[in-house]
Chains A and B, each alone.
Chain A
Amino acid sequence: MSTVSPDELTTERLAGLEPGPVLGRELDPEVGDGTLVSDPAVRPPLVLGRRDFRSITETICSWTENAPGRWWTLAFLTSSTVAGVGTLMILYLIVTGVGVWGLNNPVGWGWAIVNFVWWVGIGHAGTLISAILCIFKQKWRTSINRFAEAMTIFAVICAGMFPGIHVGRIWFAWFLFPIPNSNAIWPNFRSPLLWDVFAVGTYFTVSLLFWYMGMIPDLATLRDRAVRRLRAATGGGRFELAIGKVRALAYGLLSLGWRFSSRHWQNYEKAYILLAGIATPLVLSVHSVVSFDFATAIIPGWHTTIFPPYFVAGAIFSGFAMVLTLLVPARELYPGMKDFVTMRTLENMCKIITVTGSMVGFAYITEFFIAWYSASSYEQQAFIIRAMGPYWWAYGTMFLCNVISPQVFWLKWARTTPWFIFIVSIVVNIGMWFERFVIVTTLSSDFLPGSWGYYSPTFVDVLTFVGSLGIFMTLFLLFMRFLPMLAISEVKNVIPQADPHGPTDHAADERQGD
């Protein structure tokens, strides 16, 4: 995880160690912006453009301090309109009842649960990037973790909405919680749906805490800049002054008086790594619990033991795709962002998509194989109907988008071409939506052929889902506008100047604890 730029590193590489012949080969030409190096002895730089502490602060803060481009206003108006339509649909559902959805007798769970699982899954990439990659010390993550965590929070908000409104009589939703009541009844703790309440609730809370805690120092940076601007303000309209005061007050309150003390940093870093440590099994548990919703039932095609890890892999897969869907355009729209979110970041994310996509493919194949191997005719039939029954088109889309499409990233060109990455990321998201659709519509043909049916959504289903996309985008645009989009202090910590040990005096205090 070097923070040294290639040239410095190559020259001082392995001081004292033999560099070794290259067997007549030239160094691989550096592609693109200097971050895609295939020489194993060279660590590409994490931050480009010879940036120092000040320029990092300037660039990242300027995105929230200056008025956004016209694209932002346009995007905000569009997405908030869509969100409004979604909200209307939800109101319509609440005043009418779940009958406005396309649910029918064999298929008691429809788009709502598909959307729920899809959104929760998307959220998982944020935690993976912020927690798991943090534990594995993948420093390239510092430029995308804030972004991905914000995505997590908003995705989980969208996810939580669906089971909430699915209960029908939403005013009884408090039944989900173990609240002492006059009937002396308690929730059924043996129900996977109740585990969902706790799992998703915990996930949302811990993600929010993690996100917020990571942001405290950066909010303090924005606070100090706002204060300095206020102090320096000469003239300017009364309106601007008021806005400035509100900014200083808001960032001041949110940053909790953080003053960059190293004694504080010590506890902060420890707390951060501990949060990462508990968020890692948490993210696994959440999607495992979501998979239990299906797998504890004895419905053929649902009751299969590989569901927990398979759901987790799929979640990370779709979440990475969603991060890329948001990141690739943002990289173009915000000046200077390419210095932080380098080609290597994109390339690494593409590789993770291929890995998790292949895991999902592995699970599809295992499922199919074991369904046959089980010699249970119901299991076998469930899978045959999935692939060749009335929903064959959904199964085909799923397989094509989730297993085949990510394999394009074996090609270097594919994973270093942003517009292409963007397209594949959308394809993957579509595929993962269909995966959940395939799983849910397994309900349409269970044990008794006499009770088979076919499910199709109504316009309310469709518009509620589209509305959730609008809610997500609205929240995300607000985040991009008002909060530090990149983790300023973390990015600063991966540039070479942050190393308190110069290349020369490193040996002096090394290896003492040994």
Chain B
Amino acid sequence: MATAAATAGAGRAWGVLAQFDSPAEVYHAAEKVRDAGYRKWDVYAPIPIHGIDEAMGLRPSKMGWIVGTCAALGASGGFLLQWWTSAVAYPMIVHGKPYGAWEPFTPITFELGVLIAGFGAVFGMLAVNGLPRWHHPLFSKERFLRASDDGFFIAVDARDPKFDESATARLLQEAGASAVETVEDE
């Protein structure tokens, strides 16, 4: 088993990476890391593990507010666009309907609300997650590539105030890691 002490290569440590064998193990380890008071750390898993946000002590996602705001902006913008062009900028009698009647504007108001909300959901998610991103120090670890297959990992960032290379590694070891190694900064 590789240990944290085996720091190969130069450069200071980016953090510590620990591997676990199953969602259940990484889940319980996450609870321990959370209880130890770490802040800058993360769990890596090929699936969104049910309830892992509680185990990690994460706050609820902000996505709802982002998407809600986008929907409101899209819908109101859509309505204003139609109303202004049809009733103000270019009023034209169409089948005897009032210029500014709300009824025919409803479909596009709705569609534009959805469209902007859709952009908000996808691009907002990427922005909140700091993606896209060219590279990450973790990718230098061959082992880490298994996060996309069947590997479960906890990585603690060296910038965490509680971070201590050996103590953190020990904590992860005791939490049931099958392998722990140091990740170098690049």
- One of A52, A225, A278 near B121 (C-beta < 8 A): A278
User: A257-B133, A285-B111, A292-B107 in contact; A190/B95 too (CB < 8 A)?
Assistant: yes
What does DSSP make chain A's interface, helix, strand, loop or mixed?
Answer: helix
Contacts of A220 in B (CB 8 A): 148
- Are A259's CB and B44's CB within 8 A? yes
- Are A54's CB and B107's CB within 8 A? no
- Are A274's CB and B67's CB within 8 A? yes
Chain B residue with the shortest CB-CB distance to A186: B85
What is the CB-to-nearest-CB distance from B106 to chain A, in angstroms, rounded to a whole number?
Answer: 9
Contacts of A259 in B (CB 8 A): 44, 136, 138-139, 147
Instruction: Of the listed stretches A97-105, A195-203, A390-398, name the one at the interface; the rest are far from the partner chain.
Output: A195-203
> Does A182 interact with chain B (Cβ within 8 Å)?
no
Chain A residue total in the interface (Cβ 8 A): 71
- One of B22, B55, B86, B111 near A199 (C-beta < 8 A): B111
Considering the chains assembled together, what is the distance between the CA atoms of A464 and B82 in angstroms?
35
Contacts of A497 in B (CB 8 A): 22-23
Scoring A residues 492 to 509 as 1 if CB is less than 8 Å from chain B, else 0, what string do you get?
110001111110000001
Scoring B residues 78 to 108 as 1 if CB is less than 8 Å from chain A, else 0, what string do you get?
0001100110011010110100010011011
User: A221-B149, A227-B145, A492-B47 in contact; A264/B81 too (CB < 8 A)?
Assistant: no
User: A178-B85, A224-B149 in contact; A263/B42 too (CB < 8 A)?
Assistant: yes
- Are B131's CB and A257's CB within 8 A? yes
Considering the chains assembled together, what is the distance between the CA atoms of A267 and B114 in angstroms?
19
- Are B114's CB and A282's CB within 8 A? yes
Considering the chains assembled together, what is the distance between the CA atoms of A426 and B28 in angstroms?
50
Contacts of A221 in B (CB 8 A): 46, 148-149
- Are A53's CB and B44's CB within 8 A? no
Contacts of B51 in A (CB 8 A): 500-501, 509
User: A190-B86, A260-B46, A278-B71 in contact; A502/B148 too (CB < 8 A)?
Assistant: no
Considering the chains assembled together, what is the distance between the CA atoms of A271 and B61 in angstroms?
9
User: A54-B150, A262-B48, A285-B111 in contact; A209/B122 too (CB < 8 A)?
Assistant: yes
> Does A266 interact with chain B (Cβ within 8 Å)?
yes
- Are B108's CB and A262's CB within 8 A? no
16 contacts between A and B (CB under 8 A): A57-B46, A189-B82, A194-B108, A198-B112, A199-B107, A201-B111, A202-B114, A209-B119, A228-B145, A257-B131, A257-B132, A261-B44, A266-B61, A268-B129, A269-B61, A500-B24
- Are A260's CB and B147's CB within 8 A? yes
Considering the chains assembled together, what is the distance between the CA atoms of A289 and B92 in angstroms?
22
Chain B residue total in the interface (Cβ 8 A): 73
- Are B104's CB and A190's CB within 8 A? yes
- Are B94's CB and A188's CB within 8 A? yes
- Are B117's CB and A278's CB within 8 A? yes
- Are B107's CB and A195's CB within 8 A? yes
Chain B residue with the shortest CB-CB distance to A491: B47
- Are B50's CB and A500's CB within 8 A? yes
> Does A281 interact with chain B (Cβ within 8 Å)?
yes
What does DSSP make chain B's interface, helix, strand, loop or mixed?
Answer: helix
Besides A201-B111, A224-B145, A492-B46, 13 other CB < 8 A contacts? A195-B108, A202-B111, A206-B115, A213-B125, A257-B132, A259-B139, A260-B45, A265-B52, A281-B114, A493-B50, A498-B49, A500-B23, A501-B27
Considering the chains assembled together, what is the distance between the CA atoms of A128 and B61 in angstroms?
25
Interface residues of A (CB under 8 A from B): 52-54, 57, 178, 184-191, 194-195, 198-199, 201-202, 205-206, 209-210, 212-213, 217, 220-221, 223-225, 227-228, 231, 256-271, 274-275, 278-279, 281-282, 285, 288-289, 292, 488-489, 492-493, 497-502, 509
* Closest 10 pairs between A and B when the two form their complex, measured CB to CB: A53-B150, A257-B133, A256-B132, A500-B27, A271-B125, A186-B85, A265-B48, A262-B43, A270-B61, A206-B118
Contacts of A189 in B (CB 8 A): 82, 85-86, 104-105, 108
- One of A52, A190, A257, A501 near B94 (C-beta < 8 A): A190
- Are B114's CB and A264's CB within 8 A? no
Chain A residue with the shortest CB-CB distance to B44: A260
- One of B61, B104, B133 near A267 (C-beta < 8 A): B61
User: A257-B131, A262-B53, A267-B63 in contact; A498/B23 too (CB < 8 A)?
Assistant: yes
- Are A266's CB and B48's CB within 8 A? yes
User: A178-B81, A274-B64, A500-B27 in contact; A54/B122 too (CB < 8 A)?
Assistant: no
> Does B128 interact with chain A (Cβ within 8 Å)?
yes
- Are A275's CB and B145's CB within 8 A? no
- Are A209's CB and B85's CB within 8 A? no
- Are B89's CB and A186's CB within 8 A? yes
> Does B167 interact with chain A (Cβ within 8 Å)?
no
Contacts of B138 in A (CB 8 A): 259
- One of B54, B67, B90, B110 near A285 (C-beta < 8 A): B110
Contacts of B146 in A (CB 8 A): 224
What is the CB-to-nearest-CB distance from A183 to chain B, in angstroms, rounded to a whole number?
Answer: 10
- Are A262's CB and B148's CB within 8 A? no
Considering the chains assembled together, what is the distance between the CA atoms of A266 and B56 in angstroms?
11
- Are A212's CB and B111's CB within 8 A? no
Contacts of B108 in A (CB 8 A): 189, 194-195, 198
- One of A201, A262, A268, A279 near B52 (C-beta < 8 A): A262
Contacts of A178 in B (CB 8 A): 81, 85
User: A259-B147, A268-B48, A271-B125 in contact; A499/B61 too (CB < 8 A)?
Assistant: no
Chain B residue with the shortest CB-CB distance to A220: B148
User: A198-B107, A209-B121 in contact; A262/B49 too (CB < 8 A)?
Assistant: yes
User: A185-B90, A489-B47 in contact; A202/B52 too (CB < 8 A)?
Assistant: no
- Are A184's CB and B107's CB within 8 A? no
Chain B residue with the shortest CB-CB distance to A191: B94
Considering the chains assembled together, what is the distance between the CA atoms of A222 and B97 in angstroms?
55
- Are A256's CB and B133's CB within 8 A? yes
Considering the chains assembled together, what is the distance between the CA atoms of A261 and B42 in angstroms?
6
Contacts of B44 in A (CB 8 A): 259-262
- Are B90's CB and A267's CB within 8 A? no
Chain A residue with the shortest CB-CB distance to B117: A278
